[in-house]
Amino acid sequence: MSEQLLIADVRPYGEGDAVDLLVVDGVITEIGTDLSADGVERVDGHGGVLLPGFVDLHTHLREPGREDTETIETGSAAAALGGYTAVFAMANTDPVADSAVLTDHVWARGQKVGLVDVHPVGAVTVGLEGTHLAELGAMADGVAQVKMFSDDGKCVHDPLLMRRALEYASGLGVLIAQHAEEPRLTVGAIAHEGPTAARLGLAGWPRSAEESIVARDAILARDAGARVHICHASTAGTVELLRWAKAQGIAITAEVTPHHLLLDDSRLQTYDAVNKVNPPLRESSDCVALRQALVDGVIDCVATDHAPHAEQDKCCEFAQARPGMLGLQTALSVIAATVVGPDGLDWRGVARVLSERPAEIVGLPDQGRPIAVGEPANLTVVDPDAEWTVSRSALASLSANTPFDTMTLPARVVATVLRGRVTALDGQVRYR
Ligand SMILES: NC(=O)N[C@@H](CC(=O)O)C(=O)O
Ligand SMILES: [Zn+2]
Ligand SMILES: [Zn+2]
């Protein structure tokens, strides 16, 4: 028996009249009007926007090691509800994902849960310690076929090691994603270095800590003939460096988080550590530059940096609190609030930054595909006119550290479809 699904009354990319899609065995087989199929599961889009399923290049699921804060299962649920069909789980777990045993385990667990493809990110260095390269080749050759490597949480700051990592990655055809933070410039730093941190008495994390590594890595990538991806770009200066590097033909790509687009360091006045994140919330001028860069394509895509933390690791002294924010269930809405509009992105642009570019950057052949007959049915239905109020306790994540709590945001994910199977519908997760 073939598995069929009818997605009715949706507007692909928010363009033109509403259509219906018939999906058979995970592939779009027909697009038309008044399609009907007897006894087939039906998702009613109510005239909403149909987009390719979102791809997150930067997620922290805390399994193994901190299953009290997020598991592959709860993180997958948050992802499906947020419209994602693929996420990349960072390697800074405990133990670190620096071997094929670990990366293959993460992949297998994600497939067992079945809500979203959980692609493991392998560590660049053993134990994220920044001294010895991990076995990138073994991870790339494993069942999970690791496509991206990162020491995220930490910077690969030794330039010789970074150079070697880029050279190996280039040979293997995989991507290195850099958490750009020169550690000598951020010793003790907990907030963006600027007037707000000075007034509040918080040790400053200068823009130059990020920008110096972005510049260095662009040059290393150039000379290695390799690709490099910059995680969570946070400053106007990084935007200028990316613009320069791309103009030289350097194979550099970058992501920005929803929180760096919407929030600035004025949020720190309350000393609520929900606003503590790496890189730190910057100034409103940085937010403006990041938004424009995303619209212009200088920044390629949006990645959530979904970083769940336990209550006790957040509700403490600002200096002691762990950095990181939830992001999977709010990303689409924050993008709608910050960059969607007449001078910004249309829904085709949203498809580009949330799905097509990330899939391209990492090389996922079955994600970020056009909405067309013969293509895999990895899809997200969005209600562009919805408004909803974020409630930290109503999120699927095991943790509640969202800075968007109580905010009313536009646009909402109505349904998510992974290879023709509905994984989320009207705010409810659909397990197999
Ligand atoms: N973004 C954060 O503030 N925290 C991340 C690590 C990281 O992305 O650097 C985490 O793992 O908690
Ligand atoms: Zn990081
Ligand atoms: Zn991260």
CATH number at residue 219: 3.20.20.140
Among residues 117, 112, 144, 8, the alpha carbon closest in space to that of 432 is found at 112
> Does 374 reside within a domain?
no
Catalytic residue numbers? 305
Please indicate, yes or no, if residue 351 is contained in any of the structural domains.
Answer: yes
Candidates 1, 107, 13; CA nearest to 379 is 13
With respect to residue 381, please indicate whether it lies within any of the assigned structural domains.
Answer: no
Q: Pick from 57, 69, 90, 305 the residue to mutate for probing ligand 1's pocket: most ligand atoms within 8 Å of its CB.
A: 305
Answer yes or no: is 235 within a domain: yes
What residue ranges line ligand 1, CB within 6 angstroms? 60, 92, 152-153, 179, 277-278, 305, 307, 323-324
| Distance in angstroms (rounded) separating the CA atoms of residues 208 and 339 | 26
Any domain includes 323? yes
The total of other beta-carbon atoms located within 10 Å of residue 143's CB is: 12
As a whole number of angstroms, the distance between CA 3 and CA 97 comes to 35
Q: What does the pLDDT read at residue 38? A: 84
Report, as ranges of residue numbers, the positions in the chain whose pLDDT lies below 70.
1
Q: Which DSSP symbol is given to 121?
A: P
Are the C-beta atoms of 93 and 65 separated by less than 8 Å?
Answer: yes
3-state secondary structure 245-309: HHHCCCCEEEEECHHHHHCCHHHHHHCCHHHCCCCCCCCHHHHHHHHHHHHHCCCCEECCCECCC
How many other C-beta atoms can be found within 10 angstroms of the C-beta atom of residue 44? 17
Residue 39: per-residue pLDDT: 87
Query: What is the C-alpha to C-alpha distance for residues 376 and 357, in angstroms, rounded to an integer?
Result: 17
Q: Which atom of ligand 1 is nearest to the CA of 324?
A: 3
Three-state secondary-structure class, residue 125:
strand
Per-residue pLDDT tens digits for 101-147 = 999 999 999 999 999 999 999 999 999 999 999 999 999 999 999 99
Ion ligand 2 residues within 5 Å by Cβ: 152, 179
182: containing domain: 53-362
Mean pLDDT of all residues belonging to the chain = 98
Compute the distance between CA of residue 43 and CA of residue 405 in angstroms, rounded to an integer.
29
Q: Whose CA is nearest to atom 9 of ligand 1?
A: 153
Give the integer Cα–Cα distance in Å for 38 and 297. Answer: 44
- In whole angstroms, how large is the CA radius of gyration of the chain? 21
Q: Report the predicted TM-score, pTM, of the whole model to 2 decimal places.
A: 0.98
- Residue 324 Cα to ligand 3 midpoint, Å, equals 8
d(CA 432, CA 418): 11
Q: Does residue 24 form part of some domain?
A: no
Distance 323 CA to ligand 1 centre (A): 6
Token pair recorded at residue 31: 């697009």
Alpha-carbon distance 129 to 126, whole Å?
6
Domain assignment present for 15: no
Identify the pLDDT of residue 233.
Answer: 99
Q: Are 14 and 388 in contact (CB under 8 A)?
A: no
On whether the CB atoms of residues 82 and 332 are closer than 8 A, the answer is yes
* Counted domains in the chain: 1
Tokens of 226: 């390799």
Ligand 1 center from residue 359 Cα (angstroms):
22
Other residues' Cβ atoms within 10 Å of the Cβ of residue 272: 14
Which ipTM did the prediction report? Answer: 0.98
In a domain, 432, yes or no: no
- Residues 255, 214: contact at Cβ < 8 Å? no
